[in-house]
Amino acid sequence: MQTKEELRTYYKQIERSYKGSDFTKEDHASCQALLSSQIYQQAQWLFAFFPLPSEVDIKTVLIDAIQHKHLALPVCEADNTLTFYEVTDLQAIQEGSFGIKEPQRINAVIPSPSDLVLVPAVAYSLAKERLGRGKGFYDRFLSTYQIQHTLGICRLHQIQENIPTDRWDLTVSQLLCNGIFY
């Protein structure tokens, strides 16, 4: 089995090869499945992320959450932790740490057990194992709170048969890919 670093290098090469590709149909299928799902409809808060080009474009979900729920997006802190802040307007998002778009630091919020947390990743396995970017931000965040509903969302080429894990690596409770929940 490849190491985590070998897999991250592999996926960086894959992303370069897909640069300019159109994932609109695949991303739309996942967004529509999420918006119509019971897990999304029952959540009062959506803890999500502003997508990088290599991630599923979930902006339609973010807009829906602003209109019909509460939305929180993360800020990467200097101490390698995540703090989520309420977002009421996507126009207020600005580029922050690591080139990731972040919200204004106005109203910090923490998840309740019934909220939904979307978890980004470089790759996932169908066993819901996650290969993150290597800094442990989400593993630390998720281990801090009792969250029942964590959802990985990815594209088909980001599904890996096996992901190497360490004892601190957390799985997600569900995975969504190309409109299908696993």
Q: Give whole-number Cα distances, 141 to 137, 138, 167, in Å.
A: 6, 5, 15
Give the right CATH number for 4-11+23-181 from 3.40.50.10420, 3.40.630.10, 3.40.50.300, 3.40.980.10.
3.40.50.10420
For the chain, report the end-to-end CA distance as a whole number of angstroms: 23
Domain residue ranges in the chain: 4-11+23-181
Entry pTM: 0.93
In the chain, which ranges are continuous DSSP H helix? 4-18, 24-35, 38-42, 59-68, 137-144
| Cα distance between residue 1 and residue 16, in whole Å | 23
| Cα distance between residue 152 and residue 143, in whole Å | 16
Output the tens digit of pLDDT for each of the chain's 182 residues.
789 999 999 999 999 999 889 999 999 999 999 999 999 999 999 999 999 999 999 999 999 999 999 999 999 998 989 999 999 999 999 988 778 899 999 999 999 998 999 999 999 999 999 999 888 899 999 999 889 999 999 999 999 999 999 888 999 999 999 999 99
